[in-house]
Structure formats: structure tokens, C-alpha cells
Structure 1
Amino acid sequence: MSIDEKTSTPTPAAARDGRPSMPRWLLGLGPVVLIAVLMAVFALLNGPGLAKLGEGAPPKEEVTIEDVRFLPGQIQITARNEGPDPVTIAQVNVSDYYASFTQTRNTMAPLEATTLTVNYHWVDGDPYEIALVTSIGGKIPATVDAAALSPERGTSFFGLMTLLGIYVGVIPVALGMLWMPFIRRSSASWIRLLLGVTVGLLAFLTVDATLEGMELVAGSGAFGGPLVVFLGAFAAYLVLEATDAWMRGHQEPAPAGTPAVLPPRRLALLIAIGIGLHNLGEGLAIGSAYAVGSLALGATLIVGFAIHNTTEGLAIVTPLAKEPARLGRLAVLGLIAGAPAIAGALIGASVYQPTLAAFLLGLGAGAVAQVAFKILPLMKDSTGKILNPLGSAGIILGLATMFLTGLLVQA
């Protein structure tokens, strides 16, 4: 065999036969185009031979109530059709009373929404059970624990939502980061304990966000139902893993035999991102609850949120125990973790969609879970054990702290 034969690349059969070879991108695009053409023909012909398959079967109704607003002498309800079939709202029942109403769209096509204006003299503070009755007798329920006049969505309203996000997100995280001097003077044993506390905090946030997201879409099969929570969690986990791998590829390789642990600055950044995604979902829930009048913004509740979320700041600064304390870097980390609560409150107060909220909560759950796994190697003691007495005690303490402070924010 000649040198040219040894070093040459394989030649396509078509080229060896003297025929020009097709570009690789065209070979990949061909099946996609063919599938699209076949699906279009199938849709235009309305499924040849399958016309009688759905005869006699009732349409599938998947309707979600996205917003309930109480105005003087009226109740405004926004509903969206999340199912595959058109839906018509025929009646509105408010606490066993069928009220007259108007609506912006008589029939909702898939993914369309309608706003119903119900004529009803509601009483401030009273609970109400609302049910939208469809043309085929289906019921879409909604419960309001205590009716209250809905605020006007103007500049002052969104300013209030911004202030709320600062109260429950930015300020608590900043307060938690004030533990930095204490952590810097702590011994290795104390750092191991605090890392365990951080893992416990993140584990609690993972479970809490997952359960809250599943509760939002419980009983609904639209857009996959509870599956969207796990989809969001898995997507966030993969994105953070890919981000970490990308950052690893842009740094000098570690010496042979060095344990594979994240640098403290990068770990603190990942923690801040994970907590920020969680606070985005939390702000979304708070903003939407206030927009429909089901959240009383008292001083006690604000204090409860502050205490509950202050521990998140501790989680961010713990890996930086032996790093130079730069105020600018800490401020950026605090904003990454706390500021998403502002965006969540604004989104939740203006456009609330349960499936989107569940997906965002899933994002937060997956993000904090990924970060918790990254912290575990830093908890190893001299024997190489991760779940040593100090680390295990820290995890339990973190879980207990989040549980007990969480009792303060039940609204």
C-alpha cells in the first residue's frame, strides 16, 4: 500500500463510482422534509380512514383559571383553554348562585383565553367558591378564601411588587451574607458543619419547590401536568452542569491526584444562581397571590420571609471562607440570588399561568439540587468520608432551620 493510500481519508462510494456525493446537511434535512410533507397531507385529508374514530366521544376539556379580580359589583375571571378541543363557558356559579356575565370570547380555541365579567355584589372578607360551567356540563372550580378589592395594575402597583421582591429576596440574602466575618474566622471543623448546613438548606429548597410546583398543576393533564416540574428541574440541572463544564474547560488543569472539587468562587456563583432561580419561582407565587387578593401583606409575614430567606445568604458565603472578601463580588452574588424575586413578583402579578409557574419552580428545584451535589465533596474529613458526624449534623440543622422558619411564611 502506498503512502497516499495510508494517509487518505475514506472516499464515499458515490465518489468512487464517479457520481457526485450529496452534502451531509442535505442527507440530514431530507427525512425532516419528508416527515413534514406527510404530516401536512395527513392533516389536509383529515386522517384518511379515521374519520369515524372519534364519533360519540365527548370533547376533552382542560381549562385553567389564571386570574380572579374583585371589582366594585363585579368579579373578573380569566380562563384559558389548555386542551385540544374548543371550549365554551355557558354559566358561572358563585357560591351556589348562577350569575349573569359577559365574556370577551364566546368559544376558546386551544390555548386561547377569555375574560368573564360576572355581575355579583360580593362582600369584603367573605370566602367564595366559583365554578365555570361549560356547554357540555364540565366544571372548572376556583376558591377564594377572602375576597378583597383588587388593586389597579398601574405604576404604583408594580412599584409595590418591586418593593415586595426586595423585601423577600434582596434584603434577606444580603443580611445572610453578613455572616461572612464569622465564617472567615471559623476553624475547618466549623466550616465543615456550615457546609452541611448549606446542603441541608438546598435540599429543603429542592423538595419544597418540587412539591409546590406539583401542587400548582395537580389534577391537570395540560402540557404534561406535574411532568413540567421534573422537566424544569432536569433542564436546570443540565444547564448548570454544562456551565460548570464550560468553566472547567477555560481554566488550567488541576495537578494529578488533586481532588475534583469546584473552586470556591465558582461554587458560590453556582449557589447564587440556584437560589436565584428558586427565588424567581417564589416571587412568582407571591406576586400572583397578592394580585388576586389571597395574600395579606402584613409586617409579620414580611418578617417571616426575611428570616426564612436570610439563611440563603449564609449558603452563598460559606464556600468563600478562605477567599479575599471583596465587597463588589459579594454584592453581585447577592443580586444574582435575590433580585429574581423582583422579576418573579412582577410576572406573577401581571401574567400568571400555573403551568409556567410550576415549570419555573422546577427550574429552581433542579438548580439547587445540582449545587448541593457540588458541595458534598468539600465536606470530606481526614478519612475521606462525606457524611461524617459534623457534616451530617449540619445537614440536619439546615433542614430543621428551613422547616421551622418556613412555618412563619404560611399565608
Structure 2
Amino acid sequence: MAVPIASAALAGPSAFAADGDTVRATPDSAPDTAADPDPGDQQMIANLTNRITDVRLGSNVSGVVLDAQTDRTLWGHNASTALMPASNTKLATATAALTVLGPDHRFTTKVVYGNGTLTLIGGGDRMLTGDDLAELAQTAVAGLKAAGLTTVKVRVDDSLFPEPTLANGWNDGYYPDSVAPVRALVVDGHGVTDTSIDAGHVFAQKLAADGITVDGDVTRAQASSTDVPVARHQSPTLADTVHHMLKVSDNNIAETLLRMTALAAGRPATFEDGTAVVRGVLSKAYGISLANFEIYDGSGLSRANRIPAATLADILDLATEPRYQHVLGSIVDGLPIAGEAGSTLGPEWGRFDDPNSSCAVGKVSAKTGTLTGAIALSGLTKGTDGHWKVFSFVENGSTAAPNSIKDAMDGLAATVNGCWA
């Protein structure tokens, strides 16, 4: 598959580091395996080997730790075993979207006019707000009044995406709480069954507030090629969208990005084509092995997804390399930070708050993943030797309470950092 690659080169100069340190990684194809681990790493390895057997993690658990500077694999436990990764799948989705679309890409929502009707056209902007619709309405109203019009019909065009479907591994219970049916138009992230009609109603309300009478109900129809452009709004950059998606683990953004990535690669906006592009980007653009890799959605809600911890670490490791920083840097920036309020590692979720892991608050950045029977944590932290470490831990099927499992995983991350020695 030919995969469009954003920005002339995935090779721009840059630095990765929350505290100003720079990682200069050697290519993944030529890892440094000569040197023995330093004493701090040796202690980390011994501790991880012991702590991975924590009964809270169950017997079906995998993990891996890489040195981001040398690309060496420092430690692994069932690292090539494919397990259900939950929302760690978003790391793959984000990598593909940023690579194909580019970090500066923006999604466009349009308003066109024809035959007495304003049509609001969805462009895959999952960050669209009511205020954005108000601005679109104001521009449209100015044009209508200039033409002497005070009454208009409103319809929505979300034909950019095919009809919503369930991914392999989803169930009807996911709609609309865990994820809304995936459409190209939504406002304020509303979790409703028909986000497009809902956005149309909000747009109609904004028109009415500006003195325009809306005739009849909001309907769905494809805009005509003869309709006149009236207004347009562009989303935040894709880098900003990915940053937000990872911080709060937004399923809806992930599924929208999967479709927009498929479209940008010249394929239909479906689960099947989106995941095919993800696989193509990972394997062809970056040389990541897809052995034992299976995904069926962009968010990680699918219980059929399977990704080894080693692959998750390899995906995350890409974003630490200076040659990829321009394209993939928002993945690192968007990882929740241990103890960061408002993120999935915030204190409101009970993360990094026990005696073993609290020492890592502010020192670990990681993507969470939680489904019934599956918990994952993949991220970055600086070890005692001053090198950035990339880690991934995934468990499936533990019978312990979810909060207890998360405490055990937070402890593993603190072990990688070295603060829990």
C-alpha cells in the first residue's frame, strides 16, 4: 500500500524531553547491545522481574522496557505475547494520523446555501464547539440579510463518512456512552446517537438567535455542487487534537481520526480501511513488526484487538526519536503525566497515589488503557542513569479489583523510574 507521508521528511531536527534533555536515538535497525546495564538498570531489572509476579496483575501479563537513547531492550516478560491493549491502541491510531495527515492539518466545517436552504457540512472536526457554530451562523446571517432573506431551511451533510457501524469486538452497549456512532459532524463532543442532526439543531438555534427564522425541522441531505459557499471553520491542528485525545483518552476523536486517515490515504472512511492504513504506516513507513498485531478500531474499545507490549513500546519509541519529532511530537506531549489533574493519570482516578508509586508523580508520562478484563500502561520515564526509558505493561484477565491492578501497574512504572528502588 502506498502511504502518503506528511511533511517532506520525517527527519526534522528536534528534541524530546519534558525537562529539556535531548534524546538522540540510534536507528531502530541498529540497536546498541554491547554494553552491560548500569547498576541502576540492573536493580530495575531485578525489581521488575520480581514485581511482575504481583498477584494483582494475574498470570496473563506482559511487559517490556527499552532504553530510548540506545534502543536496547533492557527487560521483557512475555513481551511478544499479543494481549488486548484497550486504549493503548490510540498510540497506533495517533501515529498513523499524524504521519498521513501531518501535525499541522486542520479539519474544515462548511456552510453552503442553495434553494432557500443552509447546509452544514461535516468535515471530521471532533473539536467543533457551539461557539464555532455561532461564528458560522453569524457569517451566514450577514449574507442572508444582505440578500434580503430572513427565513431559511437547515440541513446537515455528513456524507463524508458512511453510515455508522459497530466494529468487530464492539457491542451495542457502547452507544452512545463509551462512543457515539461515528459521524463527520458533531458539536461540543455530545454523546448522542445522531451527532449530525444534533449539531444541525444547535446551528439552527444560533441562526434563530441572530434573527433568522428556521423553516421546519433539521434534515439530512447531501449538499449540491451548485450551492454557494457561505462560511467555513477550521479545527485546531491535528497535533492539538491528538494531544487532547491522549490526555483524556477520547474514544470519539480516535474513531474520527481513523476515518480521516483512511480518506487521506485514498481509501473509504471505514473501520476496515482505517485499520489497514494504520498497519501500512507502522510496517512500511516505520518498519515496525506486525507479528501478532490485530486491530479493528481506532479507540481500543474492540475486544478483538491484540497488540504485544513490545509493539506498543516500539510505536511509542518512535516519538522519542529526533528524526520523527516534528511529525510525532504531540504523542509524547499528549501522554498523561502521573498526578496530572484532568488527565487519565490524575488523582481523581486514583493513580500514582499509593506508597510505592507516589514517588513517581510528575516523573512518568503514559497512556492508560482500561476495559473489563484488560488494563494497560505504556509510557516514558527517566531512569536513574539519566536515560529516557520506554515501557509497556499489559494484563488481561486478572481477577483483582481494577483499582488494585492499576496500583500494581503504577508501581511497575515507578520501578522503571527507579524511585521505587
State the TM bucket, normalised to the shorter chain. under 0.3
The structure where strand makes up a greater share of residues is 2
Whichever of the two has the greater Rg, that structure is 1
Q: Which has the higher contact order (CA 8 A, sep 6+)?
A: 2
Of Structure 1 and Structure 2, which has the larger fraction of its residues in helix? Answer: 1
TM-score, structure 2 normalization: 0.23
